[in-house]
Structure 1
């Protein structure tokens, strides 16, 4: 019943993978190239491009759109839906009946009505999916600030439509901007980029020019390159100057768009129905000529023999299959909508019920999609209210942009009463070289309190003392190592750690600076996490009980993913990084995927490859995701599942949309899908056995009767009456 993807489908996937690999190589090659060499290779300069260069590059590379491939015209899409073998059989039978009995249109009309219903359903599904790439293009219809040379030779900053950007353009970024193309940074100041749209990670990442960045190894994922910004991401804070290295389909986002175009692959149930159709066709191809020849030679009336052969063909054909399936799916969709599951593609319901492997993202599905302060500890790893209180003072009184961790600290509103006695004296803002920030407060009485919060190594370098109980002791190298070991253990558990330190001193009566961040006393640390949902463990256990294996495929880091998966009851014995499967052949990937539950740091095409591997192994695969980075896998899966808060492109690529991003809702949908799936399978089995019995009875009767046992129209009516009774 369930088939494997065809060779042509596999070749198409391989082609799309090569396109994405090419886009990645363009970016990777430029990441660490010397600025002068990079600008020379792009035939540009800091002064920008002139009009002639821009026109030449637009002609060469095309406009800066996510994908140039247009969906086929709706008439061509409609014509493609007639390629179904079962549809072809019905059309041929209607044509033969019309040719043999031109005055009786009842049979042909009934068959053609059912063909039209089936064709329209398939056309609607394909037409909707073809709009996914267009949605992706719409995301980048914006403007960008660039430096270009005017006709008189002088350089100027101007706003241009994003679609007019070309390789070699000098682009300027500031807070709030969307990155308009794949860029290599030339200069950056305090630049933080949100890559959630591509990776799913909620925290922004720091980007900087190559001279200030720590060079990564050759195996690093493109999205982890610190010197490159990608089309579609957005600037959270800071500013930068960069050069465009890839536009349109050559960009990372553009390569993803290619995976969303073209004809969608058949799901496992579609392949099953097609195999049943071909089985009936092959049986018909054998039976009809045999009946025709036996009747013709046996009774000498070849026209009557031909009509009887047509009767056999009609008898073997489950004419109401499209309508029965549609009615069953519609009823299932209505029932599922009451369980907060919206079915966008009716044909996905049976795959939802047949699903035996669910691949899901981590963020927002297993977790709350919200950074919370998980622990506040002293330097020995014990709970500490002092660390929380000082951290709260730092986050509350800072005037800069409050990040997600600051907001998590400020969620402890019970500490609001502790800030009343403090007044702000000064502030030493955050920067990416120091990786910390300080506020200076006073309670009055001529004493100032400097409260500093920041990254572990940077904080330990400015601390001279450590708080132990009510005492302050010198911070020795041995003590520093014990603090590093504690914070490392927290990092291994997937927690992000900040250290809090203070210094009390007489009021200086002047502006505070970085030099004053010295001789501090380390108080403790704050540990942050996107925690698991309360319902995740129960839901995963329920899915396992119903025979659905859960695998987590995420762009987030391995430590965080393993911790969350362990807490919700998933086996984390084997975990794999995206780069681990990059160079493996299909056989090796299949073996790896079969024994692995956790996949971390996965690129969009790597997610899709895992889904394809599971399908090759005979599984019916569901994929739950909500970002652009999930769109390729959503489209590849037998049933793509998204949520109503997902990006437009994810919802367009999905077959089913959950009104709650909750695995408990998913479990209820699976059960309802299985009821629908079971009903359809029952119909196919009952109809096939019933029709075969009828035809076999007629065949035996025709040997002894001097006339046709039944006319084609009589068989059609009999089949319809039987099928209509099954609609209930």
Structure 2
């Protein structure tokens, strides 16, 4: 045995790891101090710190201290949520760690890719992404895709002595390579340091960016007008510094500054909940993308069925067919069919095959021809054994055709075996449907999610399984890949919508089906092989199982630790919950904040003092934002996840405008009721009423139904709204409130008047909400 065939010893590998370090290209790590500093890198924070500095210069030390206190409290809340999100991301990365196949102490084993060291013998088969740079020591028809480095899509043939580069993928054959460089010392490491983590921007993130710019433009124009008019009207009664602080405070009150925190917290919380259910996201935005899927394209085997194949029957000379099939199991790749064949053989036959048969060559399974081939030597003769679908290994016998049709209609998977270019026999395999599949199909229907099967199996088998799980009413409602290819473009569009089962499809045909569906729908695709890469990248969301090829894992957005339709459907529901709660936050902040923003702005133009002091507006913003951050934890009504709800800015603005008008009307009601009171009384009453109306509005806007008949809010919402309400009523009653925020103690009748208006506001906004959603529905 040559030295490389023995590989490194585990002890030598450990020494190499200490000497060369882990085989990884480290992304820049974000420390807690950077997260904390990030909370202060905002134009809003700069404005507030500037305002506090101006107050301090003018001698208003208490007001300056309160403003800075509010800045630090907001920063603390943001830091806490972002820190939790970062911890969630670190946990998720552990789930998606890459693997490598190496030889250690003479045996082939799979280890974490970070543990590969120079001197290791790396074993590469189709679907692998090389974990390190290697010098090829032995190759068997080895071809690699190096387009990630060269940009050229042509496959590169590899021979002994040539170089294999980290990050490139194996397309065909098999290779044994001596590891020459790892981590940052590889060719990939030297070119990828700056781009080790590429950031993908989802459609949701782009829409949020547009929304933020739109809000800032409206606020900027409004504040400029308010400041200018107030300067002209109040030049003798209010100083320009106080007006500037008032304008800054108004801007802070209406800008949804907690939006990034809410989105990050919602997505990371959703990602962790998915991970507990064996669904791991590679990027946080994929959680929201998953929720927006309208069609899920999936394979049959292992997703809908158990993928526990058992030999159910043999046509032909049984002993000969099983012997030939046994030889086909001696190759390097092992799939469930290999396992089922091998387990059906007597122990004595297994030993005989291993001792008497010598492997000469192997052509791994080709997803286009759907066959594989083994060349072996037995009893001094050369045998070419082929195994695959019956259409490719012809058996000219009416009895074989009849047997195959009967088995296919019974849901059995048919595999043909040939020797030296001639068909030798057929084997039938049973693969029972998972117990969870039927309930998952029903749940998918409730979510408005269409399931389509894309499989290489025969139409009879695919149709039988689809009928058993309730996906189709007739097992003949199946279309073959070659039938689809013969259609015109218009017919193809009709076919991909009409049919739920596509049989005998190649990877290219799968990609075509997904492309056609994407012209009208958002599509998810579940694949696992090297040839699924294009389809995984084409789909809006690509999903693979944990044991998928490296190429498949690299192309996917989501990795499943268990291949089961139920966990995918549950994941889609979780994604919709995240989207629904983010929409709630946007609606709540836009409607209530804008209503208050315009009411205070207009009121400032008709009285000779400020309707609410800058420091009071900042406190109002802090107290109303406190429970808003917890909205990511809220429970969601069934109708909110019944169908995809992609971000719709126009719809959001229309709803917020209607409900914002109600908020503005009631703000003016507070203004009218306390108009003749002292400035301090008006400011205190309006502050208290504004906080309480925003809090009750949250309970209304969190559901499209009557709020008392919806699902109960999550406990963080109960606690934080209760705390905010107590502070809103309690602070104005204290000496601290009078000194720090210029509040005054309201008489009992004024307090009851405020509570009465808040109750009337809840009743009115709830009525308008129900009317509006009913009107939209009709």
* Counterparts of 2:193 and 2:299, CA distance in 1: 22
**TM alignment of 1:187-266, pairs within 5 A:** 222=155, 261-266=196-201
Q: Is the 8 A contact 1:499 1:524 kept in 2?
A: yes
Distance 1:694 1:669, change over 3 A: same
* Counterparts of 1:700 and 1:336, CA distance in 2: 47
* Counterparts of 1:651 and 1:116, CA distance in 2: 32
- 2:507 match: 601
Q: Is the 8 A contact 2:387 2:415 kept in 1?
A: no
- 2:234 match: 299
The DSSP-based 3-state class of the residue aligned with 2:42 is helix
- 2:223 match: 288
1:689 CA drift (Å): 0.5
* Counterparts of 2:101 and 2:33, CA distance in 1: 27
1:210-238 deviations in Å (ceiling 9; x for gaps): xxxxxxxxxx9959999999879999x99
RCO (CA 8 Å, sep 6+): is it higher in 1 or 2?
A: 1
* Counterparts of 1:285 and 1:439, CA distance in 2: 84
**TM alignment of 1:431-580, pairs within 5 A:** 431=360, 454-455=385-386, 480=396, 495-499=414-418, 524-527=425-428, 535-536=436-437, 539-540=440-441, 542-550=443-451, 559-560=456-457, 566=463, 567-568=465-466, 569=471, 573=479, 575=481
* Counterparts of 1:346 and 1:242, CA distance in 2: 36
Cα RMSD, aligned residues only: 7.0
1:272 CA drift (Å): 3.0
- 2:672 match: none
The DSSP-based 3-state class of the residue aligned with 2:75 is helix
Distance 1:284 1:401, change over 3 A: closer
Name whichever of 102-111 and 653-662 sits farther off. Answer: 653-662
Q: Is the 8 A contact 2:507 2:535 kept in 1?
A: no
Q: Is the 8 A contact 1:391 1:409 kept in 2?
A: no
1:683 CA drift (Å): 1.7
Q: Does 1:276 align with 2:211?
A: yes
Mind listing any 5+ residue stretches in structure 2 that lack a counterpart? 1-22, 107-115, 148-152, 363-372, 487-491, 631-716, 718-778
Q: What is the aligned counterpart of 1:315 among 253, 267, 277? A: 253
Q: Is the 8 A contact 2:143 2:157 kept in 1?
A: no
- 2:565 match: 663
1:358-411 deviations in Å (ceiling 9; x for gaps): 455666435655665465224xxxxxxx52x55446667999669655542343
1:72-109 deviations in Å (ceiling 9; x for gaps): 57589969996x9x973433343343333344212222
The TM-score with structure 2 as length reference comes to: 0.50
- 1:101 match: 55
Q: Which has the higher helix share?
A: 2
Q: Is the 8 A contact 2:92 2:282 kept in 1?
A: no
1:253-308 deviations in Å (ceiling 9; x for gaps): 99999998442211233223323222221222211211111111221232232122
Q: Is the 8 A contact 1:94 1:107 kept in 2?
A: no
Distance 1:111 1:238, change over 3 A: closer
- 2:616 match: 714
Distance 1:399 1:319, change over 3 A: closer
The DSSP-based 3-state class of the residue aligned with 2:247 is helix
**TM alignment of 1:124-203, pairs within 5 A:** 139=100
Distance 1:355 1:313, change over 3 A: same
1:656 CA drift (Å): 5.5
- 2:595 match: 693
Q: Is the 8 A contact 1:371 1:408 kept in 2?
A: yes
**How many residues matched?**
540
1:162 CA drift (Å): 8.8
* Counterparts of 1:537 and 1:336, CA distance in 2: 21
* Counterparts of 1:183 and 1:93, CA distance in 2: 55
Distance 1:366 1:255, change over 3 A: farther
- 2:45 match: 91
1:664 CA drift (Å): 0.7
1:540-590 deviations in Å (ceiling 9; x for gaps): 56435423345678xxxx74487776544588648599x99xxxxxxxx99
The DSSP-based 3-state class of the residue aligned with 1:455 is strand
Name whichever of 646-655 and 663-672 sits farther off. Answer: 646-655
* Counterparts of 2:282 and 2:417, CA distance in 1: 44
The DSSP-based 3-state class of the residue aligned with 1:318 is coil
Q: Does 1:365 align with 2:303?
A: yes
1:313 CA drift (Å): 0.2
1:635 CA drift (Å): 8.3
1:695 CA drift (Å): 0.8
* Counterparts of 2:589 and 2:603, CA distance in 1: 21
Mind listing any 5+ residue stretches in structure 1 that lack a counterpart? 1-66, 146-160, 166-170, 199-219, 379-385, 441-449, 460-477, 501-516, 581-588
1:332 CA drift (Å): 4.8
- 1:408 match: 340
* Counterparts of 1:610 and 1:646, CA distance in 2: 21
Q: What is the aligned counterpart of 1:679 among 578, 581, 587? A: 581
